[in-house]
Copies of this chain bind each other. A is one copy, B any other.
Amino acid sequence: MKTLDFFFDFGSPNAYYSWKVLPGILKRTGAEANVIPVLLGGLFKLTGNQPPMVAFSAVKGKLAYEQLESQRFMKKHGIHAFRFNPHFPVNTLLIMSGLIAARRLGIGDAYIEAVLKAMWEDGLKMDDPAIAAGVLSAAGLDAQAILTATQDPAVKAELAANTEAAAARGAFGIPTFFVGEEMFFGKDRLGQVEDELR
């Protein structure tokens, strides 16, 4: 069975889009996903990269075109609930530490679903611990256990180590995918990812 490594941070709308189309790719190819939590802000610092909204803010037409491509992607893949987060950019240290904590509790996938919905459908300010706690509780998850565990130095160390390993492997942004040694950057490469998994 082939494995798809998916370097992931909740802060990227493109990670949300990719998560939505992932089940179909896994079903069609029989592959399994290995979602690797990294801190996008840390990856940017390690590689000298910037968010597209910053890097391309002065280029006439570029961000409008990126938005158009996102609209096309959502239309093609039947993604209807997306709403750009009004608090963007949201600092994701808390919710990414929370993902590692939730996995230790065996509830990683439910956590991802709840937090992605809060970030990219409901427009919530998920770097606010009280708001994050409310979202997790509403999803039936143990908010207190998760948020307490985010303070564990081992959790933060794992997130930092994942981020450094991603940069060392060649990643400079999110979402980045690996199939074996083959790297693919961005939601627009998911077709190539699927071809590589076959």
Bound-complex Cα distance A166 to B176 (A): 32
Identify the A interface with B (CB < 8 A): 46-49, 55, 58-62, 64-65, 68, 72, 167, 170-172, 183, 185, 188, 191-192
Known A65-B183, A188-B188; contact A167-B60, beta-carbon cutoff 8 A: yes
Cβ-defined contact, A59 with B183, below 8 A: no
Bound-complex Cα distance A111 to B59 (A): 32
Smallest CB separation, A126 vs chain B (Å)? 27
Bound-complex Cα distance A85 to B174 (A): 31
Cβ-defined contact, B188 with A61, below 8 A: no
Can you report 20 A-B residue pairs in the complex whose CB atoms are below 8 A from each other? A47-B59, A47-B61, A47-B62, A48-B58, A48-B60, A49-B59, A49-B60, A49-B62, A55-B55, A60-B167, A61-B167, A61-B170, A61-B172, A62-B172, A65-B170, A65-B172, A68-B183, A72-B192, A188-B188, A191-B191
